[in-house]
């Protein structure tokens, strides 16, 4: 019985196999025969799709291309690059995280929350940076929205091999920005974007110091807020409508701004508002407008000062800028144990002569006051005060609660007390000792044996008011600081 069943099973299996073979044979016969390719014949190559360039890549290509026509404004604006807004806020988020990473982990949430809850206050802290004495430091004074000056600085750094076209810093080089990189000029958004990319790629080799213009009130008054509105912020219909109603209120029946329609007026008035603060100080620019036009622009500006403080996308930018350090101490560690380290201090406006920094502690950040981690922005001496290094020059007092400018005698005394051999600042763009590069170097006139150097450096500070692009180079030679103004 077993043999009979096995025989039947084999017969059925053979029949199924034969049937499948016939079906497969018929299917093959229906296929279109493909010509055989000889061994010498090559298959056609598939075209490789060009990689999609990121927004950042497109911008960096624009920065480092042949810049003979760099002065043309259309070649400097990044906001017309695809997905620029997305790329900007991605860099801003990373920028914020990198800044927070300089604080201890247990303090980061507290610092972030405190900073966000106090819009008109800023973080009040300093940084300690330890580097080898063969490191070169390149610093950049006030840019005030001039991406032209910044690009020229970057091109110089690339020409000497300090950075590459991806904004990666090469070798023992440190780059410092001493504040006031927004306001006054038309390209503060572009300047900030490049600084964020540079910092995010090299968080240990870039120092960005807060200036007095990295502040909510000044950015509203001096143009950066409106620049952000134009390039980054969502355009709300209500804002336009209210603006036009304000125009009608001040028009008083006179067509003092010759605009054919509402939309043309709105477009034009935003262009005018961006320079209102400069117009007030520039007689030639002021003469281009009637008295009623100026009254209207001022009224409109006052109306929107408060409204800008409620624009989340804009406040997010300011809250990050308020987190920047107020001053930075750079300690050049010598290779010889018997030779003391050399200390340099970078600030925007001045130094606090009553403060004694602990420069032996290796923690990167430290408070500048025992009264808390926040300070009202207008009270920040590092941001607002000036140093009167030339007795023959009058220097104005600035800031709400800042006393008279700090005398050169007191600054040199502070430096000697703390063994600081180099101080670099910006802010004071009216120094009469500036050369054509916005550079002035001071020595202690009261003590010829004092080898301390104090440098002021400013590049740009408003409409048609700036110096030839340059940077301040600092290095150690024969155990002493040597500084010079460098440029293309």
Q: What HEC string does 298-344 produce?
A: HHHHHHHHHHHCCCHHHHHHHHHHCCCECEEEEEEECCCCCCCCEEE
pLDDT over 80 (residue 20) = no
What are the pLDDT digits (tens) for 25-65?
Answer: 554 444 445 555 454 554 454 444 455 678 999 999 888 87
Mode of pairing for the β-strands spanning 480-486 and 471-477: antiparallel
Question: What are the C-alpha distances in Å from 12 to residues 15, 18, 19, 25, 435?
Answer: 5, 10, 11, 20, 104
pLDDT at res. 466: 82
CA distance 279 to 277: 5
Least confident of 1-15, 70-84, 463-477: 1-15
Q: Mean per-residue pLDDT for 101-129?
A: 92
Phi, psi of 425 (to 5 degrees): -140, 170
15 vs 106 pLDDT, higher one: 106
Region of 334 (left: φ > 0; alpha: ψ -120 to 50; beta: rest) is beta
The size of the chain, in residues, is 488
Least confident of 177-191, 244-258, 405-419, 455-469: 244-258
68, 169 contact by CB (below 8 A): no
pTM over 0.75: yes
What are the pLDDT digits (tens) for 2-13?
Answer: 444 545 444 444
Go through 237-257 and write b for each residue having 16 or more CB atoms within 10 A of its CB, e for each that does not. Answer: eebbeebeebbeebeeeeebb
Closest by CA position to 344, among listed 329, 355, 359 = 329
Rounded to 5°, angle at Cα 207 from 229 and 482:
130
Question: Hey, which residues does 41 pair with through a beta bridge?
Answer: none
CA distance 81 to 69: 18
Mean residue pLDDT across the chain: 81
Mode of pairing for the β-strands spanning 406-407 and 387-388: parallel
322, 123 contact by CB (below 8 A): yes
pLDDT over 60 (residue 199) = yes
Q: Mean per-residue pLDDT for 384-411?
A: 82
Question: Hey, which residues does 169 pair with through a beta bridge?
Answer: 163
443, 434 contact by CB (below 8 A): no
**Which pair of tokens denotes residue 34?**
């493909």
459, 472 contact by CB (below 8 A): no
What are the pLDDT digits (tens) for 205-214?
Answer: 999 999 999 9
pLDDT over 80 (residue 297) = no
């Amino acid at each position: 019985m077993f043999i009979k069943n096995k025989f039947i099973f084999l017969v059925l299996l053979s029949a199924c196999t034969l049937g499948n073979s016939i079906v497969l044979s018929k299917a093959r016969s229906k296929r279109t025969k493909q010509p055989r390719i000889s061994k010498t014949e090559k298959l056609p190559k598939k075209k490789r799709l060009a990689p999609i360039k990121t927004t950042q890549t497109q911008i960096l290509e624009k920065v480092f291309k042949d810049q003979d026509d760099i002065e043309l404004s259309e070649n400097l604006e990044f906001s017309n690059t695809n997905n620029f807004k997305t790329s900007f806020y991605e860099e801003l988020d990373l920028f914020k995280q990198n800044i927070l990473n300089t604080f201890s982990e247990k303090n980061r949430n507290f610092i972030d929350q405190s900073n966000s809850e106090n819009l008109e206050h800023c973080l009040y802290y300093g940084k300690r940076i330890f580097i080898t004495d063969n490191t070169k430091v390149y610093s950049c004074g006030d840019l005030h929205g001039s991406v032209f000056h910044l690009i020229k600085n970057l091109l110089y750094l690339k020409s000497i091999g300090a950075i590459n076209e991806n904004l990666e810093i090469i070798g023992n080089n440190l780059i410092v920005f001493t504040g006031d990189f927004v306001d006054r000029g038309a390209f503060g958004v572009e300047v900030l974007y490049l600084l964020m990319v540079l910092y995010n790629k090299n968080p240990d080799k870039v120092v960005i110091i807060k200036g007095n213009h990295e502040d909510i009130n000044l950015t509203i008054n001096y143009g950066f807020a409106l620049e952000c509105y134009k390039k980054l912020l969502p355009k709300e219909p209500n804002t336009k409508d209210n603006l036009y109603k304000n125009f009608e209120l001040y028009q008083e029946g006179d067509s003092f701004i010759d605009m054919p329609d509402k939309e043309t007026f709105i477009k034009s008035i935003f262009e005018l508002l961006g320079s209102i603060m400069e117009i007030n100080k520039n007689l030639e620019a002021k003469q281009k407008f009637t008295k009623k036009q100026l009254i209207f622009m001022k009224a409109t500006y006052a109306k929107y000062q408060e409204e800008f403080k409620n624009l989340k996308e804009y406040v997010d930018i300011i809250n990050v800028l308020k987190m920047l350090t107020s001053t930075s101490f750079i300690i050049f560690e010598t290779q010889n144990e018997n030779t003391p380290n050399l200390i340099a201090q970078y600030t925007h406006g001045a130094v606090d002569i009553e403060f004694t920094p602990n420069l032996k502690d290796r923690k990167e950040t430290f408070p500048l006051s025992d009264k808390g981690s926040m300070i009202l922005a207008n009270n920040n001496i590092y941001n607002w005060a000036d140093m009167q290094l030339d007795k023959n020059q009058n220097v104005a007092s600035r800031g709400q609660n800042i006393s008279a400018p700090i005398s050169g005698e007191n600054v040199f005394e502070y430096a000697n007390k703390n063994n600081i051999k180099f101080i670099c600042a910006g802010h004071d763009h009216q120094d009469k000792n500036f050369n054509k590069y916005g550079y002035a170097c001071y020595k202690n006139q009261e003590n010829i044996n004092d080898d301390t150097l104090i440098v002021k450096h400013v590049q740009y500070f408003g409409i048609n008011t700036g110096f030839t692009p340059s940077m301040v180079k600092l290095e150690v030679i024969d155990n002493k600081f040597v500084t010079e103004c460098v440029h293309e």
